[in-house]
């Protein structure tokens, strides 16, 4: 059986650190018609209904992610579709099931008509879950849930987020609002403020505003946030962290900017008991027992189906439009999705 796919042009890592922006797809992706790969024991073949585009996909195709590329293999980590074949009894039992999934090691990516992954990692979805939510059910929602647990454990009544107009931060704003823990959102475009406030942000600060530092200090003094969830990992992040109270935690989970920070007051790690740490969903999966994972996944689906959460989609591209359309589509304010046809 043949399929149309966007395959990676390179193997391994690139050694660069340019971040998840692309001006053109040509250096990283090739549109091709290839044989659908053969299923290994425990794997399923999924007919893709919709695939998402996450910053991790862009880091990955550029050779800057935490796992090596495989030349000639379809890109794309996450998607939703129907299981049409399986190797092994459990995998076979999923035939005909609509599932959300991320591609496991040894699988075949979602930016194609068909994808392959481990049957055990597939999440059968509720019939009324929208494809837009199902194609982005795992990477951002589980990260939001897991990081929000870290926020709750600190007992801080507020938390700061950088790059707050991201889909992930929009989910975190909803969690903060429902738990009465105030989200303080840092953006780089003041126009995004109204929408984030409607979602439940308590404060939205534009980092390009000349009064940013003064406004930040006032908010920190008032709300005393002791956690920063940070996707930038740059000088702005460091400056915000230096302004936060004693015993604050800086949790880095993304690297959207490429210039590393200088930390001017190292004494804060000694005398103010501040801590910098990282979060990676892959590690959360490794360290969280399966029963707990299932509970979180159920809660995620319920939030989407009930309308408490919504994946905001700005553009849906057909696979054959991606090579020319993706760089421009990525300039919008919400998620880009792919459909096979
Ligand atoms: N560690 C993990 O396990 C994990 C899991 C999931 C996601 N993540 C990370 O979470 C982050 C958000 O993911 P997402 O899918 O929600 O992203 P997204 O919806 O694609 O949004 C990305 C956001 O980042 C902002 N941004 C990009 N570069 C920036 C820069 N240099 N300075 C300031 N803002 C910048 C954009 O701001 P504008 O709107 O102003 O352009 C946009 O709002 C990414 O870094 C991703 O890699 C990590």
Measuring from atom 7 of ligand 1, which residue has the nearest CA?
A: 140
Mutate to test the pocket of ligand 1, among 133, 231, 283 (most ligand atoms within 8 A of CB): 231
Specify the pLDDT at position 215. Answer: 98
Distance 41 CA to ligand 1 centre (A): 35
pLDDT at 2: 98
Does 55 sit in the ligand 1 pocket, CB within 6 Å?
yes
Question: Would the pLDDT of 305 be above 90?
Answer: yes
Could you state, in order of their start, the residue ranges of all structural domains in the chain?
2-136+311-339, 139-282
% of the chain beyond a pLDDT of 90? 98
Please state at what angle helix 139-154 crosses helix 167-179, rounded to 10 degrees: 40
Record the tokens describing residue 168, joined without a space: 């992930």
Note the pLDDT tens digit of each residue in 140-155: 999 999 999 999 999 9
Which pTM was predicted? 0.96
Check if 257 has its Cβ closer than 6 Å to any atom of ligand 1.
yes
What are the tens digits of pLDDT across the range 61-94?
Answer: 999 998 999 999 999 999 999 999 999 999 999 9
Confidence (pLDDT) at 285: 95
The residues, any chain, with a CB within 8 Å of residue 229's CB and separated by 6 or more, are 147, 151, 159, 160, 161, 162, 169, 172, 251, 253
Of 3.90.180.10, 3.40.710.10, 1.10.8.50, 3.60.110.10, the CATH number of 2-136+311-339 is 3.90.180.10
pLDDT at position 333 is 86
pLDDT band at 195 (very low <50, low <70, confident <90, very high): very high
CATH of domain 139-282: 3.40.50.720
Residue of 6, 5, 113 lying closest to 58 (CA atoms) = 6
Distance from the CA of 55 to the center of ligand 1, in angstroms? 6
């Amino acid at each position: 059986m043949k399929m149309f796919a966007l395959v990676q042009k390179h193997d391994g890592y690139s050694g660069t650190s340019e971040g998840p922006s692309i001006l053109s797809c040509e250096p990283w992706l090739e549109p091709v018609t290839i044989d659908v790969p053969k299923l290994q024991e425990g794997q399923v073949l999924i007919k893709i209904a919709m695939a998402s585009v996450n910053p991790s996909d862009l880091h990955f195709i550029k050779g800057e992610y935490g796992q090596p590329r495989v030349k000639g293999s379809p890109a794309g980590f996450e998607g939703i579709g129907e299981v049409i074949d399986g190797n092994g009894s459990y995998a076979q039992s999923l035939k005909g099931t609509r599932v959300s999934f991320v591609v496991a090691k040894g699988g075949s990516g979602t930016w194609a008509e068909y994808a392959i992954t481990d049957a055990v990692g597939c999440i059968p979805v509720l019939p009324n879950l929208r494809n837009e939510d199902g194609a982005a059910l795992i990477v951002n929602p589980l990260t939001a849930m897991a990081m929000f647990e870290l926020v709750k454990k600190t007992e801080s009544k507020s938390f700061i987020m950088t790059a707050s107009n991201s889909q992930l931060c929009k989910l975190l704003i909803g969690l903060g609002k429902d738990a009465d823990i105030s989200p303080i959102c840092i953006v780089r475009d003041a126009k995004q403020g109204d929408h984030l406030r409607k979602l439940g942000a308590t404060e939205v600060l534009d980092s390009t505003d000349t009064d940013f530092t003064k406004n930040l200090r006032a908010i920190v003094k008032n709300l005393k946030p002791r956690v920063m969830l940070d996707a930038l990992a740059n000088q702005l992040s460091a400056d915000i962290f230096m302004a936060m109270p004693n015993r604050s935690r800086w949790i880095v989970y993304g690297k959207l900017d490429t210039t590393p920070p200088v930390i001017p007051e190292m004494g804060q790690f000694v005398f103010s008991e501040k801590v910098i740490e990282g979060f990676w969903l892959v590690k959360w999966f490794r360290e969280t027992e399966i029963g707990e994972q299932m509970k979180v996944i159920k809660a995620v689906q319920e939030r989407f189906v009930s309308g408490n959460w919504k994946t905001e989609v700005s553009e849906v591209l057909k696979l054959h439009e991606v090579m020319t359309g993706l760089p421009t589509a990525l300039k919008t304010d919400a998620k880009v999705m792919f459909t096979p046809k």
